[in-house]
Amino acid sequence: MKTKVVFHIDWDNKEALIMALNNVENLLKEVSAEEATIYLVANGVAVKLFQRERATEYAPRIQNLSGDGVHFLVCNNSLNNLGIKGEELLGPCQVVPAGIVELIRLQAKGCAYIKP
């Protein structure tokens, strides 16, 4: 059985993001990347954490996890509300129309919901 999980970040809180990245890395120590489907969804003010100019400290970790197949999904509604353009985000980030809808969709597909 494949492990499916979505981590949810919705506050502009670097510590919460670091905790989520730690959780993902620890998960991948126990479950191989081939056996896991892992998403991190950012909405609300948390989308700011994924701006290239703010993310230098943890950008390499996000890049590495993306290489392991982790999907970083960022809410377009939140980006628009905050005046942030998709081009300002780290490369691995994929913009989705609505973070909340994405969370619902992923949970309906069997993803466990984790809120670090």
Helices (H), the chain: 14-30, 59-67, 76-82, 99-108
**CA distances in angstroms from 17 to 31, 34, 62, 109, listed in the order given:** 21, 23, 10, 24
What average pLDDT is seen over the chain?
97
DSSP state at residue 80: H
Query: What band does 1 get if pLDDT is binned at 50, 70 and 90?
Result: confident
Give the residue-averaged pLDDT of 53-77: 97
CATH T-level topology, domain 3-114: Hypothetical Protein Ychn; Chain: A, (3.40.1260)
